[in-house]
């Protein structure tokens, strides 16, 4: 029988272990040393057998270090097998999927080239920021959705007449999918982001139909929390009920979590693509299925 080995990078060790259990695969951990100048020195703790090797490592902050560690692990695995799957549960740089302003570099296309050059034969990501991002890869890439697992979590909470809300039009399809699986309706706000300063504004003026209803704000990721805070402030003015957040990737940079809670959010639910306080939904099942 073909041997399967999961190698866990330091950014996703727990998720990698869970995945190896689901796949009944061997698990190899890795050690990491960061040199004083910031270089990563990564060591795998055993040699994998010939067969399929799955590297699991997210590229959340420090993004470039975690990326370098992912590339190093793929390169190492390639010495043992030509079948190397790179699972990157949270793919950093995914928002840089197009040239928004003249002269910008589409860094996601650089990442795609690096993964291929390191020897990945396939890439698996969870809830990539945009479908357009997938087009930059010329090795097979699979994007798996955590929406059903997030919905399952929300079904256990007893929300009052819940309504699903996307904080921007770009996330409308995700919110629609969430609402369909949740068995309710959805709306999408109009958000504008200043491409130079990053400042966010909600452009939607008034809304009917949110008064008294509990809301679930659905987004692919929370970074600074700016989008969620602005959306919540706006929605609370419309006299809604409680507001919850469901997102796949909770980066929660600096004091984002506090800012969001202060804005009046009753709960933040995210997945373990990025481990943290809010990551209560496990994505190892959907990744195992994709493999
Ligand atoms: C943007 O289109 C994304 O879907 C997120 O809404 C955004 O990246 C979140 O960033 P922040 O938390 O900094 O507003």
For 172, how many CA atoms within 13 A lie in the half-sphere containing its CB?
7
What confidence score (pLDDT) does residue 217 get? Answer: 98
> Quick one: pLDDT band at residue 147, thresholds 50, 70, 90?
very high
pTM score: 0.94
> Quick one: pLDDT band at residue 84, thresholds 50, 70, 90?
very high
Q: Span 233-254, mean pLDDT?
A: 96
Measured distance CA(150)–CA(104) in Å, rounded: 34
> Quick one: pLDDT band at residue 208, thresholds 50, 70, 90?
confident
How confident is the model over 86-115, as pLDDT tens digits? 999 999 999 999 999 999 999 999 999 999
Measured distance CA(44)–CA(20) in Å, rounded: 16
What is the full DSSP assignment across 185-207?
-EEE--EEE-TTT--EEE-----
Q: Span 264-269, mean pLDDT?
A: 96
Mean pLDDT lowest among 30-44, 164-178, 192-206, 270-284: 192-206
- Atom nearest to 225 CA in ligand 1: 12
Q: Indicate which residues carry an active-site annotation.
A: 191
Tokens 């034969």: give the residue: 121
| Inter-CA distances, 232 with 56, 142, 190, 213, Å | 34, 32, 13, 13
| Residue 246 CA, ligand 1 centroid: distance in Å | 13
> Quick one: pLDDT band at residue 200, thresholds 50, 70, 90?
confident
The domains found in the chain, sorted by start residue, are 4-145+283-290 (3.40.50.2020), 147-272 (3.40.50.2020)
What confidence score (pLDDT) does residue 207 get? Answer: 82
Q: Which of 274, 246, 273 is nearest to 260 (CA)?
A: 246
- Atom nearest to 224 CA in ligand 1: 13
Nearest CA owner, ligand 1 atom 2: 170
| Inter-CA distances, 238 with 62, 84, 234, Å | 38, 50, 7
Q: Span 122-148, mean pLDDT?
A: 97
| Inter-CA distances, 45 with 32, 53, 80, 242, Å | 11, 14, 14, 47
How confident is the model over 19-67, as pLDDT tens digits? 999 999 999 999 999 999 999 999 999 999 989 999 999 999 999 999 9
Which of 128, 132, 194, 222 maximizes ligand 1 atoms within 8 Å of its Cβ, making it the mutation to test the pocket?
A: 222
Mean pLDDT lowest among 42-51, 187-196, 223-232, 242-251: 187-196
Collapsed DSSP state (helix, strand, coil) of residue 279: strand
pLDDT of residue 195 exceeding 90, the answer is no
Which of 193, 200, 219 maximizes ligand 1 atoms within 8 Å of its Cβ, making it the mutation to test the pocket?
A: 219
- Atom nearest to 251 CA in ligand 1: 12
What confidence score (pLDDT) does residue 194 get? Answer: 86
Q: Which of 59, 171, 42 is nearest to 108 (CA)?
A: 59
Q: Span 203-232, mean pLDDT?
A: 92
| Residue 231 CA, ligand 1 centroid: distance in Å | 11
């Amino acid at each position: 029988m073909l041997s399967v080995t999961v190698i866990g990078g330091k950014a996703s060790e727990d998720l990698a272990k869970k995945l190896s259990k689901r796949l009944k695969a061997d698990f190899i951990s890795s050690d990491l040393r960061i040199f004083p100048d910031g270089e990563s020195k990564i060591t795998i703790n055993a040699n994998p057998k010939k067969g399929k090797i799955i590297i699991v490592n997210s590229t959340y902050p420090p993004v470039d270090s975690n990326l370098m560690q992912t590339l190093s692990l793929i390169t190492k695995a390639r010495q043992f097998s030509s079948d190397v799957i790179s699972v990157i549960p949270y793919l950093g740089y995914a928002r840089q999927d197009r040239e928004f302003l003249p002269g910008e570099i589409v860094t996601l296309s650089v990442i795609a080239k690096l993964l291929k050059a390191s020897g990945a034969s396939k890439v698996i990501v969870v809830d990539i920021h945009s479908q357009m991002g997938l087009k930059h890869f010329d090795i097979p890439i699979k994007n798996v959705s955590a929406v059903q697992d997030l919905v399952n979590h929300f079904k256990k909470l007893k929300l009052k007449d819940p309504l699903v809300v996307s904080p921007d039009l770009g996330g409308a399809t995700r919110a629609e999918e969430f609402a369909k699986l949740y068995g309710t309706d959805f709306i999408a706000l109009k958000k504008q982001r200043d491409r130079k300063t990053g400042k966010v504004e909600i452009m939607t003026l008034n809304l009917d139909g949110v008064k008294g209803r509990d809301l679930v704000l659905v987004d692919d990721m929370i970074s600074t929390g700016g989008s969620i805070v602005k959306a919540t402030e706006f929605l609370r003015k419309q006299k809604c009920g409680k507001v919850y957040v469901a997102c796949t990737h909770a980066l929660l940079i600096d004091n984002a979590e506090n800012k969001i809670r202060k804005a009046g959010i009753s709960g933040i639910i995210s997945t373990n693509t990025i481990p943290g306080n809010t990551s209560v939904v496990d994505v190892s099942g959907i990744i195992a299925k994709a493999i």
